[in-house]
C-alpha cells in the first residue's frame, strides 16, 4: 500500500497497512466461507447478543475511532464522532433482526406452504473513502444479522477505521472469520470479490463508472449485487418557503464532508422571484462557514481527502464562473474553500457532473414543471431537497423527482432505519431500513403435502 497521508497537513501517517495480494484475498474469502456454517447456526438470540456486544465495544472506542478518521480522512471531529456512533447504532438496530427473519405461510391446496429466509454465505462489501465507517456498517450490520459472513474491503486511502472495527468485532466475541477486513486495491481485492465463486453477493458503494464494471462482472456467476453510486442531487427552493431558513440550510446540504458526499445537493434550483434574496443570504452563510483544522471542535468543514481529489475539484472550479467563495486555510494539506457557481447553461460540466467536492451550482427556474424537469435532467437519481411551505406542492414535487431519498424543508439524508438507494445510474437495490437483512437472504419456498 502506498503510504497514508494526513489530508490536513500533507504529512505521512506512521501506520500504513500492507495491501492484500490476490492469494491473501483468496485465503480470507476461504476463511469467511469456513466460518459461515457456524455463524449461520448460532441461535438467533445469541447472534443478537453478539451484535449488541459489538455495538457496546464500538461505543467504548468511539473517541478513538473518531480521532482516527480525523487523521486518515480529514473529517471534522464532530462528523467523525457521529460516524462512529452511526456504526454502533446500526449494529444495535440490526441486532433485532436475527429474531425477526420471518418467513411466510401461504395458503395452498393439499398441504402447507412455508418460506424461509436463508443467509447467502460470504458477502463482499466494497467501500469508498468518503464515509469509511458508516458505509461499511450499512453493509456488514444487516449482512451479519441475517447470518452471513463478511469480507470487507475499505478504500486504499482510508483503511484505518475499518481495520480497527474488525479488531473490535473479535474483542466483542464475534467468532474469528465472521467479519474480515481486507485492505487492498480495488483492482486486486475488490475484483476478486466479484470473481471468486465463494462470494455470493457484492455490496458496492462508489463511483458509477466502477459500479458498472462490478455489475457486469457479477453477471458471469449471476452474483447478487447492490450498487450505491454517485449523485447530482437538486435542492429545489420555491419562493413560498422561508428563504432565510432555506439559505441557512443549503451549505450543510452540499459542503458537509467538504462536498465528498454522494447525497450532496450540488445543484440548487431557486424560483426566480426569490433568486436574488436567496443568493444574497447564501453568500452570507457560505462566508460564515468555519473551514478549519478538522480536529478543532469548531470546524464545520475540513480538507479534501487527497491531492488528486483536490486537483479534480479545482479543475471544475477553473472551468466555471465563480460567484463567491468562503474561506479555507492555504495549506499545508488539501484545502479548497466552499465555492458557489451561478449556472446559466445545463451543459456546463459543473452542472452535469458529480464534482465530489465543495462546489455548488445555482440556477433560476420559473415554475414547478421547470423545477422538476431540471431536477430530473441527469443520469443520476440519489437524493434531493424541496423547500416550500405548501404541503401539496411538497408532495407533488417529491412524487415527480426521480430520486431515492428526498427531504422536505431539511437537508438531512440517510437514516439507517429507513431505506436508502438510487434511481437511474445512482444505484441498484436498497440498503438500510427494516428490509435490509432480507436482501442478504434467499427466500426458500417449501411445500409439504398432507
Ligand atoms: P471508486 O473509485 O468507485 O472506489 C470505490 C471502491 O471500489 C474503493 O474501495 C475502490 O478501491 C474500489 N474499486 C475500484 N476499482 C474497482 C474494481 N475494478 N473492482 C472492484 N472494486 C474496485 O469511488 P471512490 O472514488 O472511492 O468514491 C467516490 C464515489 O463514491 C463517488 O462517485 C460517490 O458518489 C460514490 N459514493 C456513493 C455513495 C452511495 O451510497 N450512493 C456513498 C459514498 C460514495 P481503491 O481502494 O483501489 O480505490
Ligand atoms: Mg476512485
Confidence at residue 331, expressed as pLDDT on a 0 to 100 scale = 84
User: Which burial class, exposed, middle or buried, applies to 27 when counting CB atoms under 10 A from its CB (0-12, 13-18, 19+)?
Assistant: middle
211 Cα: distance to centroid of ligand 1 (angstroms)? 8
Q: Mind listing the pLDDT tens digit for each residue in 349-401?
A: 999 999 999 999 999 999 999 999 999 999 999 999 999 999 999 999 999 99
Over residues 116-143, the mean pLDDT reads 98
Catalytic residue among 69, 156, 228, 431: 228
Over residues 53-60, the mean pLDDT reads 99
298 Cα: distance to centroid of ligand 2 (angstroms)? 30
> Does residue 209 surpass a pLDDT of 80?
yes
Mean pLDDT of the chain: 97
Q: In this structure, which ligand is nearest to the CA of 214? A: 1
Domains of the chain, earliest start first: 22-229+425-449 (3.40.605.10), 234-414 (3.40.309.10)
Q: In this structure, which ligand is nearest to the CA of 423? A: 1
Give the CA-trace dihedral at 79, 315, 374, 130, to 10 degrees: -20
pLDDT range class, residue 1, cuts 50, 70, 90: low
- Against a cut of 0.85, is the pTM above it? yes
Confidence at residue 76, expressed as pLDDT on a 0 to 100 scale = 98
| Count of residues making up the chain | 450
> Does residue 138 surpass a pLDDT of 90?
yes
Over residues 15-35, the mean pLDDT reads 96
Residue nearest to atom 22 of ligand 1 (CA): 186
Ligand 1 atom closest to 193 (CA): 20
273 Cα: distance to centroid of ligand 2 (angstroms)? 40
Written as nine digits, the cell of 400 is 415527480
Over residues 190-198, the mean pLDDT reads 98
Confidence at residue 103, expressed as pLDDT on a 0 to 100 scale = 96
Is 24 assigned a catalytic role? Answer: no
> Does residue 15 surpass a pLDDT of 90?
no
Q: Which of 79, 209, 210, 427 to mutate to test the pocket of ligand 1 (most atoms within 8 A of CB)?
A: 210
Over residues 63-71, the mean pLDDT reads 98
User: What percentage of the chain reaches a pLDDT higher than 90?
Assistant: 98
Over residues 81-103, the mean pLDDT reads 98
Over residues 117-126, the mean pLDDT reads 98
Q: Nearest 5°: phi and psi at 430? A: -125, 145
Confidence at residue 31, expressed as pLDDT on a 0 to 100 scale = 98
* CB-based pocket (< 6 A), ligand 1: 126-131, 135, 153, 155-156, 185-187, 190-191, 205-207, 210, 213-214, 228-231, 262, 354, 356, 382, 422, 427
User: Which burial class, exposed, middle or buried, applies to 307 when counting CB atoms under 10 A from its CB (0-12, 13-18, 19+)?
Assistant: middle
Residue nearest to atom 43 of ligand 1 (CA): 262
> Does residue 295 surpass a pLDDT of 90?
yes
Amino acid at each position: 500500500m502506498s503510504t497514508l497521508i494526513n489530508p490536513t497537513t500533507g504529512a505521512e501517517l506512521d501506520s500504513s497497512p500492507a495491501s492484500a495480494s490476490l492469494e491473501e484475498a483468496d485465503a480470507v474469502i476461504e476463511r469467511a466461507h469456513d466460518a459461515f456454517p457456524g455463524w449461520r447456526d448460532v441461535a438467533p438470540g445469541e447472534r443478537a447478543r453478539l451484535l449488541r456486544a459489538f455495538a457496546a465495544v464500538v461505543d467504548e472506542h468511539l473517541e478513538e475511532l473518531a480521532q482516527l478518521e480525523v487523521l486518515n480522512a480529514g473529517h471534522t471531529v464532530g462528523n467523525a464522532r457521529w460516524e462512529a456512533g452511526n456504526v454502533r447504532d446500526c449494529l444495535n438496530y440490526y441486532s433485532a433482526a436475527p429474531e425477526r427473519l420471518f418467513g411466510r405461510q401461504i395458503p395452498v391446496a393439499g398441504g402447507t406452504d412455508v418460506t424461509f429466509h436463508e443467509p447467502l454465505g460470504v458477502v463482499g462489501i466494497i467501500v469508498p473513502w468518503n464515509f469509511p465507517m458508516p458505509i461499511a456498517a450499512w453493509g456488514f450490520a444487516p449482512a451479519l444479522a441475517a447470518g452471513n459472513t463478511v469480507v470487507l474491503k475499505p478504500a486504499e486511502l482510508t483503511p484505518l477505521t475499518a481495520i480497527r472495527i474488525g479488531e473490535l468485532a473479535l474483542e466483542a466475541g464475534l467468532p474469528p472469520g465472521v467479519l474480515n477486513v481486507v485492505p487492498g486495491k480495488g483492482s486486486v481485492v475488490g475484483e476478486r470479490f466479484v470473481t471468486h465463486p465463494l462470494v455470493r453477493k457484492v455490496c458496492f458503494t462508489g463511483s458509477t463508472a466502477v459500479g458498472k464494471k462490478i455489475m457486469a462482472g457479477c453477471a458471469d456467476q449471476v452474483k447478487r449485487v447492490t450498487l450505491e453510486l454517485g449523485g447530482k442531487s437538486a435542492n429545489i427552493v420555491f419562493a413560498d418557503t422561508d428563504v432565510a431558513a432555506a439559505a441557512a440550510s443549503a451549505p450543510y446540504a452540499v459542503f458537509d464532508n467538504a462536498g465528498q458526499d454522494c447525497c450532496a445537493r450540488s445543484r440548487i434550483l431557486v424560483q426566480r422571484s426569490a433568486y436574488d434574496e436567496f443568493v444574497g443570504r447564501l453568500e452570507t452563510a457560505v462566508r460564515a462557514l468555519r473551514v478549519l483544522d478538522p480536529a478543532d471542535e469548531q470546524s464545520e468543514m475540513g480538507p479534501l481527502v487527497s491531492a488528486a481529489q483536490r486537483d479534480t475539484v479545482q479543475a471544475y472550479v477553473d472551468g466555471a464562473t465563480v460567484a463567491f467563495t468562503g474561506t479555507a486555510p492555504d495549506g499545508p494539506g488539501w484545502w479548497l474553500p466552499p465555492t458557489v457557481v451561478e449556472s446559466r447553461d445545463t451543459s456546463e460540466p459543473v452542472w452535469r457532473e458529480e464534482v465530489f467536492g465543495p462546489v455548488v451550482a445555482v440556477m433560476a427556474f420559473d415554475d414547478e414543471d421547470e423545477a422538476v424537469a431540471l431536477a430530473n435532467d441527469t443520469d443520476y437519481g440519489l437524493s434531493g431537497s424541496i423547500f416550500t411551505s405548501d404541503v401539496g406542492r411538497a408532495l407533488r414535487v417529491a412524487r415527480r423527482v426521480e430520486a431515492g431519498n428526498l427531504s422536505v424543508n431539511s437537508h438531512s439524508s440517510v437514516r439507517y432505519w429507513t431505506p436508502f438507494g438510487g434511481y437511474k445510474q445512482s444505484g441498484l437495490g436498497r440498503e438500510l431500513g427494516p428490509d435490509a437483512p432480507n436482501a442478504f437472504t434467499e427466500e426458500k419456498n417449501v411445500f409439504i403435502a398432507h
